[in-house]
Amino acid sequence: MKIGFIGLGIMGKPMSKNLLKAGYELVVMDRNLDTVGEIVALGATAADTPKAVAEQSDVIITMLPNSPQVKDVALGENGLIEGARPGTIFIDMSSIAPLASREISEALAAKQIAMLDAPVSGGEPKAIDGTMSVMVGGEKAVFDKCYEIMKSMAGSVVHTGDIGAGNVTKLANQVIVALNIAAMSEALVLATKAGVDPNLVFQAIRGGLAGSTVLEAKAPMVMDRNFKPGFRIDLHIKDLANALDTSHGVGAQLPLTSLVMEMMQALKADGHGQSDHSAIARYYENLAKVEVTR
7 annotated as a binding-site residue: yes
Distance between CA 280 and CA 145 in Å, rounded?
40
140 annotated as a binding-site residue:
no
Annotated binding-site residue? 8: yes
Let me know if 170 is a catalytic residue.
yes
| Residue 12 is assigned to a ligand binding site | yes
Residue 10 counted as an annotated binding residue:
yes
15 is in an annotated binding site: yes
Buried b (16+ CB within 10 A) or exposed e, 151-166: ebbbeebebbeebbbb
* 161 annotated binding-site participant: no
- 17 among annotated binding-site residues: yes
Q: Which residues contact 112 (CB under 8 A, 6 or more apart)?
A: 86, 87
Does 258 belong to an annotated binding site? no
From 21, 51, 126, 170, the catalytic residue: 170
Tell me if 9 is assigned to a ligand binding site.
yes
- CA gap 203, 79 in Å, rounded: 50
Annotated ligand binding at 11? The verdict is yes
| 18 labeled part of a ligand binding site | yes
143 is in an annotated binding site: no
Contacts of 227 (CB under 8 A, 6+ apart): 221, 272, 275, 276, 278, 279, 282
Q: Is 16 annotated as a binding residue?
A: yes
Instruction: Answer yes or no: is 238 a known binding residue.
Output: yes
Q: Quick one: DSSP state of residue 279?
A: G
Spatial CA neighbour of 119 closest among 108, 133, 129? 133
Is there a contact between 235 and 65 (Cβ–Cβ < 8 Å)?
Answer: yes
Cα dihedral sign, 274-278-284-286: negative
Measure the CA–CA gap between 140 and 208, rounded to whole angstroms.
Answer: 38
Q: With contact defined as beta carbons under 8 Å apart, do 220 and 293 qualify? A: no
Residues 6+ apart with CB under 8 A from 110: none
For residue 230, the tally of other CB atoms under 10 A from its CB is 21
* CB-based burial label for 71 (10 Å; 0-12, 13-18, 19+): middle
Q: Tell me if 29 is assigned to a ligand binding site.
A: no
Contact 104, 116 (CB under 8 A): no
Annotated binding-site residues read: 4-18, 95, 238
Which residues carry a binding-site annotation for NAD(+)?
4-18, 95, 238
Q: What residues are labeled active site? A: 170
